[in-house]
Amino acid sequence: RENDWARVLQAAQSIKTDNERDAAPWQYWQARALEALGKKPEAASMYANITQHTTFYGFLAADHLGQDYRTLADAPVDRQQRVAGLQRVAAVQRAFEWFALGEREQGRKEWFRALTPMDQPGKLAAAELALTSGDPNLAIWTLSRAKAWGEVNLRFPVVHADLVQKQAAAQGVLPAWVLGVMRRESAFDATAASSANAFGLMQLILPTAKDVGRKLGISINTKDDVFPLETNVQLGSAYLAQMLTRFNGDYAQATAAYNAGPGRPPQWSPRQTLSADQWVESIPFTETRDYVQAVMAYTTIYDYRLNEGKGRRLSERLPPIAPNAKKLSPDP
């Protein structure tokens, strides 16, 4: 945040643990520091180490090098034979019977017990079976058991595409952004209810839903009014549009506001214009920092998927963050 790149480099190089030192965030910031200090070949080498990651840092590293997002171009794997075999497994059949009876929790227990002895290809086939059976949330959680983070087509299914496209167009926001928020908020579980009393695909709290609903002419009285798919996506898309307008089209700040509330980003305003990656990295709330990085990466992935490989670069949606003239308190 202070552009003290010599200290950033020193901090990165002083990390003792190999796993932490080799993690994408530190690799990225070490490269940024090297680049700022005029050591471009060394920086390029470090950026290249993480360009295969389908993450905030991986995409930004590719942008610094001017490389394509190669991992997004991988063709889907044909798993039809393995999927057909799974459909004959008794435990998998029992899980689907529980789902058909409306006993989702029992079904999930049966499903994840069936996953335990499977190898990674088996778990990936199970994720595909869940997805083709209309349960993207189960597919995502199944994929997490396989730890196959590069399986973009399974990790980031395009869900409720027509509804998202319709509401995104009506509210004037990117459908990829709506999907990115939805993927992070609920992993496409339309019944999700958080401990913070946020509900549905886009995890809206009741006061926000009521406020946005009034502006749209939609009556929202109880949480049951927030869950229906079309209403939830309409309200969530409209709220995203409000945040984007409030922050003058700045996606990083609007995304932070969706998570932490619109009053927070102005409190994190820099003293002087700051690059967006520095601003995001210095968000003082770990949850919001991780949230913004995830949603911006997910938006990039969905933009690529919705536009058949012709989506925009992540860095194109991350303009520098200017100081807030109304901010009186010192930086946190």
Could you read off the pLDDT of 90-133 as tens digits, one per residue?
999 999 999 999 999 999 999 999 999 999 999 999 999 999 99
The DSSP result for 86-109, as a single string, is HTT-HHHHHHHHHHHTT-HHHHHH
> What are residue 202's phi and psi, to 5 degrees?
-105, 10
Beta partners for residue 193, in sequence order? 199
Stated length of the chain: 332
C-alpha distances in Å from residue 97, one per residue of 4, 80, 105: 59, 21, 12
- pLDDT, average across residues 310-330: 79
Q: What is the pLDDT of residues 271-298, one digit of tens each?
A: 999 999 999 999 999 999 999 999 999 9
Q: Strand, coil or helix: what is 177?
A: helix
- Compute the distance between CA of residue 200 and CA of residue 233 in angstroms, rounded to an integer: 9
* Mean pLDDT, rounded, of the chain: 94
The answer to whether the CB of 269 falls within 8 A of the CB of 324 is yes
The answer to whether the CB of 40 falls within 8 A of the CB of 57 is no
Give CA 147 to chain center in angstroms.
16
Quick one: pLDDT band at residue 8, thresholds 50, 70, 90? Answer: very high
Quick one: pLDDT band at residue 330, thresholds 50, 70, 90? Answer: very low
Strands (E), 82-215: 198-199, 204-205
- Compute the distance between CA of residue 300 and CA of residue 256 in angstroms, rounded to an integer: 16
The model's pTM is 0.94
